[in-house]
Amino acid sequence: MSVEQIDKIDFISTSPNGSVKLTISDHLIWDEENEHVLLLQDKINSYLNFVDSGQIFEEYPNSKNKNIAIGLIMKFEPNEYALNFLQKCKSIIKELNIEFNWKTLK
């Protein structure tokens, strides 16, 4: 699974602290036209809908009464535009009581 498959949850796991983590796998290069950012935005919205609709509790019953986190694992460092986008996402998603973080694999 990957960022390109908008209607799929790439990975779901339970972290050591007990929270449920939904992970997005992103292998794409950041482009000047920012099409990658638009694709990622759709993927994040899909994850938020998965949580908001309650589908997460149907497909992963162990997630009930646990903190939810969305993690983004990227192959390439984000450009400035993408980094600004990720910072805004973090602020907005935090208001939904969901943690959002990202890291680049090296």
Write out the H or E segment, with its range, that includes residue 23.
strand 20-26
Average pLDDT for consecutive 10-residue bins of the chain (106 residues)? 86 88 95 92 97 94 92 96 97 96 93
What is the sign, positive or negative, of the torsion defined by CA atoms of 51, 52, 53, 57?
A: positive
Domain ranges of the chain: 11-104
pLDDT of residue 1: 65
pLDDT of residue 89: 97
pLDDT of residue 15: 82
Instruction: Give yes or no for a contact between 47 and 93, defined as CB atoms under 8 angstroms apart.
Output: no
What is the sign, positive or negative, of the torsion defined by CA atoms of 17, 20, 24, 25?
A: positive
**Is beta strand 68-74 parallel, antiparallel or unpaired with respect to 20-26?**
parallel
